[in-house]
Amino acid sequence: MRIVLFLLPISLISSEFYQVHKDIHIMRSGGTNVGIGGSGASYFYNPAGLSTMNRDSGGETKILNVTSSINKNLIDSGTDFISDIEEVDDEDERNIETIKLAKEHLGENNHLGISDFTYFANHKFILGALGSLNANFETHRGFGTEGFASIDGLVLGGAVFGGAYNYDDKIALGLGIKYFTYSSVDRDFTLRELVANSDDIENYVFDEVAESGESIVFDLGLLYHFGNSREYHLGVSGINIGGIGKESHSTYIPETLNIGAGYSKKIEKRFLHSLKFGIDYTDLTEEYEESDNVKKIRAGIDLSIVDSSWITFKIGAGLYQGYPTAGLNFRVALLDFAFTTYAEEIGVYSGQEEDRRYMANFTFGW
């Protein structure tokens, strides 16, 4: 009970922008991809971006593509729990120490996420399956309407299918459909309620409290190339048309209209194979509540240092919702490892409450 309550992977008065999938490679460069494309994950930002994938490679196949994320507060809380409580033998003393530790971390958002996106994609189409959990948890003093703890979380599972079509040398069009079943939690819990269900708290939250359903959404996109070598791009996308999840919950994923500009170039020097740069402005129609201009902006650069059939090494950096991002990617043959840090703004306005997060990815594929 103590461990589950304290480390339960699930944000409270959170204003996080829930998304279907945050690709770790795109997030290291600020989450920008509407005007760039170039990978299977580009589908979630602009389906027309599939058209800029490498045609000579034959496409991307990801048999296993697992990403996990955790925030700084949860790391700090877990470290404190292990150092201060785990080795205490006396039951009463453990309870006292647990309460003290909970007080030290009152009002802090704890985040945990995990996903697997398995897919095949090339410059014409993508077919994939996605399963994910994105959840936040925050404790309170136990008085007032907030209760003892606030939990919001979203579990998704389903299929993705989309395609891209080069209308001519300058214009690419994209279209896709996603089907998901979901379970959504957005609730304040009392201490009595949590204690009464302490023996099976996870099943209580997700089986009895969560609301489940299914959603079918559509995605549209356009990518315009210009310049002598088609190195400059402008993109427009409508993503998740129809909305995903429970509309009254903070975990609801609305449809968004997005624009972006990008630049990509092959350098093919000894220590710099290629580079990409982009800037996006998301949610033009303000479907997300409590959004401001800074929270909608994404910008970043991605550098491919080495990119051969056996080894890949990439680095990237950017700005996401006004906070810096950075990450790297290292591949050897069929095994791919990546790490990225970014921050989510969970306050009402930019700069109010930074939630620093860390993502790690392991992929088996080609």
> pLDDT for 189-244, tens place per residue?
887 787 777 778 778 877 788 899 999 999 999 999 998 778 999 999 999 999 99
Question: Which positions of the chain have pLDDT values less than 50?
Answer: 1-14
Closest CA to 231 of 270, 168, 274: 274
Res 88: pLDDT: 63
Residue 128: per-residue pLDDT: 98
Structure confidence at residue 4 (pLDDT): 40
Domains and CATH numbers, the chain: 2-365 (2.40.160)
Taking phi over 0 as left and psi of -120 to 50 as alpha, with beta for the rest, 25 belongs to alpha
pLDDT at 202: 75
Q: Could you tell me the two tokens for 16? A: 């996080």
pLDDT in the model for residue 2: 40
Which tens digits make up the pLDDT trace of 221-236?
A: 999 999 877 899 999 9
Q: Are 212 and 185 in contact (CB under 8 A)?
A: no
User: Is the full-model pTM beyond 0.85?
Assistant: yes
Per-residue model confidence (pLDDT) at position 197: 77
pLDDT confidence of residue 25:
98
3-state secondary structure of 39: coil
